[in-house]
Structure 1
Amino acid sequence: MDVVSDAISAVRTGRPSSNRLRVGGSWCTRLAPYEGAGFHVVLAGGCWLVPDTGGEPVTLGAGDVVLLPHGAGHVLADSPGDTARAVPFEEMRRPDGGGGDGREVELLCGKYRLDRSRTHPLMAELPEVVHLPNRVGRHPELRSAVDLLANELDERRPGACLALPSLLDLLLIYMVRAWMSQAETGSWPSVLNDPVTTAALRALHSDPAALWTNDRLAAAAGVSRATLARRFTALVGRAPMAYLTWWRLTLAATRLRDTDASLAAVAREAGYGSPYALSHAFSREFGVTPGRYRVSAGGSEGRRP
């Protein structure tokens, strides 16, 4: 696994959901804050997005994509003026909507369910609103994903029930990639552009259960131990072994939530020599034992009648 894939996989839960909205004339709708990430794809027409956080209104045109990675509440409207007129999104008209003045707007609006208790720092530093305009030659993979989504929504061909959520997952990856390629703030685009740090992260993420030491990791990155420690800590914000400990426990939490694997199996996969060693480290990081975490997260014990 690469770092971006792991960062997304660690927090994503369940399947994404989406709604198609077609409106026209004068309209304004509010989307409440959400414990996940929201997104919008403008399939036709144009509109405005007004964040609840007080940021500047964003104008959206056909083909534009916007990601709200922290689930911020916001308004979508025909104009950025009086947002007090907004009606809840659930009360908006669905695909048979439209206005009499011909100014029709069509949107794909959706949500990703995220478990924020284990957010990777790469995901945490995404801004409240990531606007990816439809510009010729920019982010061709994202544009292709948008086109595929539009076709799948239009035709509803056999297999669409599997194709649509898979395309929505692909959309999330491409949105994060696109942000990283153009980000002017945040440390993780710089992290993944640094060959030494990237090599070390790739090694840790490829085999987190290995018996890593600073010397072994430095050898994998092709630099001295001192060079690795200096560059890794400066860019990532944690020393290499501290990052490894955090990542191992994050993986253990994911396994506890998503699988019925025994604590011994989870410990082995996370690089701990015994369930006791994992329990001690896990309780120190999360404040609860692995068993209690599994129940509270809806894991195997929590699903039992």
Structure 2
Amino acid sequence: MDVLSDVIAIMRTGQPRSARVAWHAPWGQRFPAVPGSAGFQVVLQGSGWLLPPDGQPIVLSVGDVLFFPHGHGYAMADNPSTPVAEPECDPLEDGDLFTSASIDGPGAATVLLCGGYRLDPARAHPVLRDLPEMIHLPARLGLHPELRAAVELLGAEVQHPRLGADTVVSSLLDMLLLFILRAWFEAEHGQCEVSGWAAALADPGISASLDAMHRDPARAWTVAELGSQAGLSRAAFARRFAALVGQPPLTYLTWWRLASAGRLLRETDAPLSEIAARVGYGSEFAFANAFKREYGMAPGRYRRDGCPTPLPSSEVVKT
């Protein structure tokens, strides 16, 4: 898997939710903060306004995509002066994979495709740190055609579900998330000055080394070998990787191995010895010690109980 695909696989948990809602003016709705989640809104028909907690209202048109990677709250309305209603429940706590609804009113309709993803804070990839509170991708002719295609397919499937809709919608929701992140990174790459993960993924050498680690985490990588993947000397690679990613190459590799192990522990019944080998540890004992340093508990307990107090993604094991 490539880095961005791994980010999606490692951080999302449970089943995503989606809804196609037709709001008839006047309408206003507050969407509360949901820690440990990411949400999106897509304007399928009509227009509306985003009312962020801070800053000026933002007008939205057909095809605009909003993404909230950190689960921060916001409000939307047909007009900035329209009062907003408070939510009745956590939209991700209960409910179906997808649903449709219509909110009555005398005015014009605005149709929104909305939804959200549950994220496991214990497996949050550090790439998330670089994402802003909100990503706004305005609709522009010829821009991000794959994202527009995914939106159209998802909106049609939610409105008129057919045989196999559960699988189709679930796959399209993951595809939508990937396309949103790809579009944002591509937009960042087009800026004159970029830093952090946007710069790391745009850098051919550093991106190649990250892909190598993600595709074969069990390999006993050295800094020199990773530098050869990047086409750089050992010293030049180490400096550039740390400057862009924010940590040394082998530090990131260790974090990634243990994050992958956490996913395997929760999602498979593989024995610890097999998981240890798959993520690059020569013995179950060495793996268990490294895992406990990162997660604060033994692998067996993590598999049984989860991680109630996960370490921040920046708190990686030092190698």
Partner of 2:68: 68
Identity score, percent:
47
Q: Secondary structure at the match of 1:21?
A: strand
Partner of 1:97: 103
Q: Any conservation in 1 of the 2:16–2:173 contact (CA below 8 Å)? A: yes
Q: Any conservation in 2 of the 1:31–1:89 contact (CA below 8 Å)? A: no
Partner of 2:50: 49
The reply on whether 1:195 has 2:204 as its aligned counterpart is: yes
**Runs of at least 5 residues in structure 2 that lack an aligned partner in the other structure:** 92-99, 308-319
Q: Secondary structure at the match of 1:156?
A: coil
Give the structure-1-normalised TM-score.
0.91
The reply on whether 1:28 has 2:37 as its aligned counterpart is: no
**1:263-299 Cα deviation digits (max 9, x unpaired):** 111111110111111111111111111122222229x
Give the structure-2-normalised TM-score.
0.87
Matches within 5 A, 1:161-240: 161-183=166-188, 186-240=195-249
- Tell me, in whole angstroms, the C-alpha distance in 1 between the residues paired with 2:225 and 2:200: 20
Residue 138 of structure 1: CA displacement? Answer: 0.9
Q: Secondary structure at the match of 2:142?
A: coil
**Runs of at least 5 residues in structure 1 that lack an aligned partner in the other structure:** 299-305
Q: Any conservation in 2 of the 1:8–1:123 contact (CA below 8 Å)? A: no
Partner of 1:124: 129
- Tell me, in whole angstroms, the C-alpha distance in 1 between the residues paired with 2:56 and 2:196: 23
Q: Any conservation in 1 of the 2:62–2:139 contact (CA below 8 Å)? A: yes
Q: Any conservation in 1 of the 2:48–2:77 contact (CA below 8 Å)? A: yes
Residue 231 of structure 1: CA displacement? Answer: 0.9
**1:198-245 Cα deviation digits (max 9, x unpaired):** 121111111000011112222232221111111111111111111111
Instruction: Tell me the amino acid that sits aligned with residue 251 of structure 2.
Output: A
> How many equivalent pairs are there?
295
Instruction: Tell me the amino acid that sits aligned with residue 139 of structure 2.
Output: N
The reply on whether 1:283 has 2:284 as its aligned counterpart is: no
Q: Secondary structure at the match of 1:197?
A: helix
Structural RMSD (CA): 2.1
- Tell me, in whole angstroms, the C-alpha distance in 1 between the residues paired with 2:282 and 2:242: 26
- Tell me, in whole angstroms, the C-alpha distance in 1 between the residues paired with 2:76 and 2:187: 25
Partner of 1:153: 158
**1:97-128 Cα deviation digits (max 9, x unpaired):** 33212x11111110111102221121221111
Change (3 A) 1:152 1:82: closer
Residue 129 of structure 1: CA displacement? Answer: 0.7
Change (3 A) 1:50 1:75: same
Instruction: Tell me the amino acid that sits aligned with residue 96 of structure 1.
Output: S
Q: Any conservation in 1 of the 2:26–2:106 contact (CA below 8 Å)? A: no
Q: Secondary structure at the match of 2:270?
A: coil
Q: Any conservation in 1 of the 2:45–2:112 contact (CA below 8 Å)? A: yes
Instruction: Tell me the amino acid that sits aligned with residue 71 of structure 2.
Output: G
